[in-house]
Amino acid sequence: MDLLGNLWIGLETALTPYNLLYCLVGVFFGTAVGVLPGLGPVATIAMLLPITFGLPPESALIMLAGIYYGAQYGGSTTAILVNLPGESSSVVTALDGYQMARQGNAGRALATAAIGSFIAGTLATIVIIFFAPPLASIALKFGPAEYFSLMVLGLIGSIVLARGSLLHALAMILLGLFLGLVGTDITSGSERYTFDLPKLADGIDFVIVAMGIFGVGEIIANLENESKRELITKRVTGLMPTREDWRRIRWPILRGTLLGSILGILPGGGAMLASFGAYSLEKKVSPNSAEFGKGAIEGVAAPEAANNAGAQTSFIPMLTLGIPSNPVMALMIGAMIIQGIQPGPSVMTDQPSLFWGLIVSMWVGNLMLLALNLPLIGLWVRMISIPYHFLFPMIVAFCSIGVFSLSNSTFDVYLMAIFGLLGYVFRKIDAEPAPLLLAFVLGPMMEEFLRRTLLLSRGDTTVFFTRPISAIMLGVAVILLIIVLLPSIRKKREEAFEEEAG
Partner 1 sequence: MSLIRSPKDFWSGLIYLVAALFGLTIGSNYSMGRAGQMGPGYFPIILSSLLLMFGAVTLVRSFIVPGESVTRFALKPALLIIGSVVVFGLLVERAGFLVAMFASTLMSASASSEFRFEWRAILGLVLFVAAGALLFVKALGVPMPLIGPWFNPS
> With respect to partner 1, which residue has the nearer C-beta, 22 or 69?
22
Among 220, 231, 371, 469, binds partner 1 (CB under 8 A): 220
> With respect to partner 1, which residue has the nearer C-beta, 428 or 492?
428
Residue 421 binds to partner 1 (criterion: CB under 8 A): yes
Among 197, 240, 386, 401, binds partner 1 (CB under 8 A): 401
> With respect to partner 1, which residue has the nearer C-beta, 137 or 165?
165
Among 390, 487, 501, 502, binds partner 1 (CB under 8 A): 390
State the nearest-atom distance from the C-beta of 188 to partner 1, in Å: 5
Contact 145, 394 (CB under 8 A): no
State the nearest-atom distance from the C-beta of 170 to partner 1, in Å: 6
Task: Report how far residue 5's alpha carbon sits from residue 129's, in angstroms, rounded to the nearest whole number.
Answer: 12
State the nearest-atom distance from the C-beta of 416 to partner 1, in Å: 6
Looking only at residues 430 through 489 of this chain, which bind partner 1 when binding is defined by CB under 8 A?
430-431, 447, 450-451, 454-455, 457-461
Task: Report how far residue 499's alpha carbon sits from residue 398's, in angstroms, rounded to the nearest whole number.
Answer: 33
CA angle 222, 331, 413 (to 5 degrees): 60
Strand partners, 192: 183
CA angle 173, 183, 146 (to 5 degrees): 50
State the nearest-atom distance from the C-beta of 418 to partner 1, in Å: 8
Size of the site for partner 1 (CB under 8 A): 62
Instruction: Give strand ranges (E) for 23-140.
Output: none
Per-residue contact flags (x/-) with partner 1 for residues 85 to 104, judged by CB under 8 A: --------------------
> With respect to partner 1, which residue has the nearer C-beta, 129 or 391?
391
Q: Is 352 exposed, middle or buried (0-12, 13-18, 19+ CB in 10 A)?
A: middle
Using the contact rule CB under 8 A, the part of the chain among 14-22, 130-138, 385-393, 474-482 near partner 1 is: 385-393
> With respect to partner 1, which residue has the nearer C-beta, 358 or 436?
436
Looking only at residues 163 through 182 of this chain, which bind partner 1 when binding is defined by CB under 8 A?
165, 167-168, 170-171, 174-175, 177-178, 181
DSSP string, 188-233: T--EES-TT-GGGTT---HHHHHIIIIIIHHHHHHHHT------S-
State the nearest-atom distance from the C-beta of 44 to partner 1, in Å: 16
> With respect to partner 1, which residue has the nearer C-beta, 36 or 316?
36
Using the contact rule CB under 8 A, the part of the chain among 13-21, 136-144, 277-285, 405-413 near partner 1 is: 405-413
Among 397, 478, 485, 489, binds partner 1 (CB under 8 A): 397
Residue 379 binds to partner 1 (criterion: CB under 8 A): no
Residue 201 binds to partner 1 (criterion: CB under 8 A): no
Task: Report how far residue 10's alpha carbon sits from residue 360's, in angstroms, rounded to the nearest whole number.
Answer: 6
State the nearest-atom distance from the C-beta of 470 to partner 1, in Å: 16
CA angle 224, 228, 234 (to 5 degrees): 155
- Collapsing DSSP states into helix, strand and coil, what is residue 430? coil
Residue 284 binds to partner 1 (criterion: CB under 8 A): no
Strand partners, 191: 184
Contact 444, 203 (CB under 8 A): yes
Per-residue contact flags (x/-) with partner 1 for residues 41 to 70, judged by CB under 8 A: ----------x-------------------
Among 206, 392, 440, 464, binds partner 1 (CB under 8 A): 392
- Collapsing DSSP states into helix, strand and coil, what is residue 170? helix
Contact 321, 135 (CB under 8 A): yes
Residues 6+ apart with CB under 8 A from 173: 155, 158, 159, 435, 436, 438, 439
State the nearest-atom distance from the C-beta of 344 to partner 1, in Å: 21
> With respect to partner 1, which residue has the nearer C-beta, 297 or 477?
477
Residue 290 binds to partner 1 (criterion: CB under 8 A): no
DSSP string, 290-304: GGTTS--THHHHHHH
- Collapsing DSSP states into helix, strand and coil, what is residue 415? helix
DSSP string, 457-488: TTT-TTHHHHSHHHHHHHHHHHHHHHHHHSHH
Strand partners, 184: 191
Pairing between strand 191-192 and 183-184? antiparallel
- Collapsing DSSP states into helix, strand and coil, what is residue 182? coil
DSSP string, 250-275: HHHHHHHHHHHHHHHHSTT-SHHHHH
State the nearest-atom distance from the C-beta of 28 to partner 1, in Å: 16
Q: Return the number of other C-beta atoms located less than 10 Å from residue 437's C-beta.
A: 26
State the nearest-atom distance from the C-beta of 353 to partner 1, in Å: 26
Residue 413 binds to partner 1 (criterion: CB under 8 A): yes
Residues 6+ apart with CB under 8 A from 148: 446, 449, 450, 453, 464, 470
How far does the chain reach from its first CA to its final CA, in angstroms?
49
> With respect to partner 1, which residue has the nearer C-beta, 190 or 488?
190
Which residues contact partner 1 by CB under 8 A? 51, 165, 167-168, 170-171, 174-175, 177-178, 181, 185, 187-188, 190, 192-193, 216, 219-221, 223-224, 226, 387-390, 392-394, 396-397, 399-401, 404-405, 408, 410, 413-414, 416-417, 420-421, 424-425, 428-431, 447, 450-451, 454-455, 457-461
